[in-house]
């Protein structure tokens, strides 16, 4: 029954996108609005990661990490869609209460990978002046792989998350259309030339949140079929999908285009996940600074 409800909600949420695509095709034929812009996005960056798996430890593990991502982004006047493949990795340390005795050191290897599809529609009636607004959805699938030797048989931990999220985006056009001078630091005159640049703020909020978490005892022993035992089945015995928890994310970005139609973007991203699973929750937060090159694929 739960599966039927989940699929029904999924279909209802994505039906408007399918309809919108159909309408866009028809509109293009009818009014021939401007050609869409398509970009290949290459990103790198770094950030601060924090997680806690209460099935094995009450402690937060946190520390710096690196990010890489690849995306395909398509913009039209009526909306935009993005496919994203991203991975992050780091070596976080356990955050412990201050101790005057023999200090405990515990670190882990952590990686977080994401595959997502985002589809936003411009809300044209809300647009005013240089402000533009979008709303839509985002289907995100993420996978964590953690290794912490001090946890013995639980040294390897995984989590998976699938989130259907509502997205809202607001943009402000910071472009200069003409050359001229402008005060810099209220004192100096600065020459400015025509530029196309934008600032955006995006919010993603999970509507349907699934997570893949361990069973009651973290290390369940499944059927052992001699040397033919499936190592994946053995490692993740007892894991199961749950639909609970939440995921929230924000993104503040500044994008600057050059004359060739390519662009660069600086962005700050915040992502937080709470996955209760069936028994003990997993929680994580990521703060990332990302630099992206936009390659126009006309």
Partner 1 sequence: MKNIFIPAAFIGLFIFTSCEKLLFDADKSSNDPRTNFEYLWNEADKKYSYFTLKGIDWDEVKVRYSDSITDGMDEQALFRVLGNMLNELRDDHTNLVSPFDVSVYNVALKKEPNYYERTIREHYLPQVMHTGAFTHNFIEGDSIAYLRYSSFMNAVTKEDLDFILSRYKNTEGLILDLRENGGGNVFNIPLIMERFTSERTLVAYSKTRSGPGHDEFSAPESFYYNAHDGIRYDKPVMVLTDRGSYSATTFFSLTTKAMNNVTLVGDTTGGGGGLPNGGQLPNGWNYRFSITQLLDLQGNNYAESGVPPDILVSFNWSDLSRDEILDRAIEELRQ
**By CB under 8 A, residue 216 contacts partner 1:** yes
Do residues 198 and 171 touch, judged by C-beta distance below 8 A? yes
Residue among 83, 18, 35, 89 at smallest CA distance from 286:
89
274 sits near partner 1 (criterion: CB under 8 A): yes
User: What b/e sequence results for 185-214 when a residue is b if at least 16 CB atoms lie within 10 Å of its CB, and e otherwise?
Assistant: eeeeeeeeeeebbbebebebebbbbbbbbb
Half-sphere exposure (Cβ direction) of 40: Cα atoms closer than 13 Å: 3
User: If we measure between CA atoms, which residue out of 140, 23, 162, 124 comes closest to residue 83?
Assistant: 140
Told to check if 229 binds partner 1 by CB under 8 A, we report yes
In sequence order, the 6+-apart residues with CB closer than 8 A to the CB of 284 are 49, 50, 51, 52, 112, 144, 272, 273
Among 248, 256, 291, 296, binds partner 1 (CB under 8 A): 248
Residue 183 Cβ vs partner 1, minimum distance, rounded to whole Å: 13
- The site that binds partner 1 (CB under 8 A) totals a number of residues, namely 60
The nearest distance, CB 198 to partner 1, in angstroms, is 10
Among 3, 221, 260, 298, binds partner 1 (CB under 8 A): 221
- Name which position in 74, 238, 291, 293 contacts partner 1 (CB under 8 A): 238
Q: Does 155 bind partner 1 (CB under 8 A)?
A: yes
Q: How far is CA 171 from CA 86, 152, 200, 218, 253, in A?
A: 23, 49, 4, 45, 9
CA nearest neighbour of 169 among 104, 123, 231: 123
Listed ranges 21-29, 35-43, 72-80, 149-157: which one lies at the site for partner 1 (CB under 8 A): 149-157
Min CB(22)–partner 1 separation in Å:
34
For residues 120 and 151, which CB has a smaller minimum distance to partner 1 in the complex?
Answer: 151
Distances (CA, A) of 12 to 137, 139, 164, 262, 292: 12, 14, 12, 36, 33
Min CB(35)–partner 1 separation in Å:
28
Query: Contact with partner 1 (CB under 8 A): which of 12, 35, 58, 178?
Result: 58
Stretch that binds partner 1, among 13-21, 145-153, 160-168, 289-297 (CB under 8 A): 145-153
Which residues contribute to the site for partner 1 (CB under 8 A)? 52, 56-60, 94-99, 101-106, 129-131, 150-155, 172, 174, 199, 201, 203, 215-229, 238, 246, 248, 250, 252, 268, 270, 272, 274, 281, 283, 285, 287
């Amino acid at each position: 029954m739960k599966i039927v409800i989940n699929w029904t909600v999924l279909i209802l949420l994505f039906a408007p996108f399918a309809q919108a695509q159909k309408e866009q095709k028809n509109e293009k034929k009818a009014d021939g609005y401007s050609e869409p812009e398509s970009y290949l996005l290459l990103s790198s960056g770094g950030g601060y990661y924090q997680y806690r798996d209460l099935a094995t430890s009450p402690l937060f593990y946190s520390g710096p990490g690196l990010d890489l991502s690849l995306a395909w982004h398509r913009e039209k006047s009526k909306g935009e869609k993005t496919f994203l493949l991203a991975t992050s990795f780091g070596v976080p340390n356990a955050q412990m209460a201050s101790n005057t005795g023999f200090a405990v050191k515990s670190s882990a290897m952590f990686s977080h990978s994401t595959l997502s599809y985002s589809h936003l529609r411009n809300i044209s009636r809300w647009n005013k002046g240089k402000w533009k607004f979008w709303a839509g959805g985002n289907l995100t699938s993420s996978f964590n792989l953690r290794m912490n030797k001090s946890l013995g048989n639980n040294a390897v931990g995984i989590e998976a998350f699938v989130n259907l999220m509502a997205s809202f985006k607001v943009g402000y056009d910071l472009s200069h259309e003409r050359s001229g001078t402008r005060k810099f630091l209220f004192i100096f005159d600065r020459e400015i030339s025509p530029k196309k640049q934008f600032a955006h703020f995006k919010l993603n909020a999970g509507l349907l949140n699934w997570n893949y978490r361990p069973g009651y005892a973290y290390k369940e022993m499944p059927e052992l079929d001699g040397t033919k035992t499936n190592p994946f089945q053995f490692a993740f015995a007892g894991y199961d999908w749950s639909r609970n928890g939440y995921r929230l994310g924000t993104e503040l970005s500044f994008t600057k285009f050059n004359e060739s139609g390519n662009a660069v973007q600086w962005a700050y991203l915040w992502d937080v996940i709470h996955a209760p699973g069936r028994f003990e929750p997993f929680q994580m937060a990521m703060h990332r600074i990302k630099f992206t090159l936009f390659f126009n694929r006309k």
